[in-house]
Structure 1
Amino acid sequence: MSPRLPGPSRPIALHIMAFVCHKRALNRRYDVENKALRMFDGYLNAQGIKTLAEITPALLDAFFLSRPRLRPRSFNQLVGIVGRLFEWMVEHDVIDRSPSR
């Protein structure tokens, strides 16, 4: 049995859960993406981020640099899933502008 990941926590946790539920409702598994988003949530907590407004492009760059990848495809997937989360949040009027580039 594989260890369970802890549930997401603040500040973006509810939006991550809603995003993943939305994708799963579209009949997509989103297991790997869910783990990547939880890793991002953990990074935000470790950095002491309390609000969505504190998430900046510089913070996202620092997160991506903290997760070195051996294969470009893996890195691009990580960047893509975080970007899609923020695009979804803009579409659903959670934030005004995406901090991802």
Structure 2
Amino acid sequence: MTHLSLALPAPNPWPNVVLTLGIVLFVFLLTAAFIAFVSENRKMKVDAARENDLRQLVDRYEQLAEKTMDAQQRTAADVAELRSRTASIEQILRTVE
């Protein structure tokens, strides 16, 4: 009886190594893509929240500016009325003297 196992060529492990490295690389790329997606998604949410806060701040500023303008107009009208009354009182006082 001859030893057939000695006559068979030794199996080549390189295709298995290449396949394993390919799978590991593929899993690594998928993980990196997922991490990049999650990071970009969080960045977009933070930017959207910041933009929303900025819009609210601008809206509050516009409301405050409008209220201030109204108050200035009322004050100007009151001052004009007071000047008119003062002028009338001064004229009355001049006629009395």
Same fold (TM over 0.5): no
Judging by fraction of residues, say which structure has more helix. Answer: 2
Between 1 and 2, higher relative CO (CA 8 Å, sep ≥ 6) is seen in 1
TM-score, length-scaled by structure 1: 0.23
Higher-Rg structure is 2
